[in-house]
Structure 1
């Protein structure tokens, strides 16, 4: 992972942590989804993003998100990223997005990834 991408990844995780502490769960999810997109092609960052999503879903007692979205994804993030990391379409990482669904990457994130 490029240093600049890593910095933005960490910043999004910090935003998510702050938002969750303030019980602004919508902002926390947005920051985690942004972190997921930034880290999706790096095995460790991808796994870390899903781990934080799993913790947030658990904190909210959103068991659909825990089971259908994050538990399996957290376990599979590392091996799947090793196998397919560069070939996968960038996505937000939540359970409400189908695996085959293509998502639009926010323009500012795309610019960071293109650097």
Structure 2
């Protein structure tokens, strides 16, 4: 992972932790989704993003999301190693309704293209 991407990945994780402490779970999910997009091409970072999402789902007692994130956390390393950069970047939540689908934010696209 490039240093600039890693820096932004860590910043999004830190932001999510702050938001969780403030009980702003909706914004914490957005920060974790941003971290997921940034880390999706790195096996360890991808796994960390899903692990953090799993912990947030557990905190919220969202059992449907827990099950999806559990599977995603387990499969993050092998899928990243198998498919790496050829995969479509996505937000990472396990159960997303059409109205919640996340496009890749412009600032993240710029970071990833550096």
Normalising TM by the smaller chain, what interval? over 0.9
- Consecutive unaligned residues of structure 1, counting only runs of 5 or more, are none
Partner of 1:33: 33
Moved over 2 A (4+): none
> Structure 1 length normalisation: TM-score?
0.93
Partner of 2:9: 9
Partner of 1:82: 81
CA drift of 1:104 comes to 2.3
Q: Distance in 2 between matches of 1:73 and 1:36?
A: 11
Contact 1:90 1:103 (C-alpha < 8 Å) held by counterparts = no
Q: Distance in 2 between matches of 1:93 and 1:14?
A: 17
Partner of 2:58: 58
> Structure 2 length normalisation: TM-score?
0.94
Q: Distance in 1 between matches of 2:11 and 2:76?
A: 21
Aligned Cα RMSD in Å? 1.4
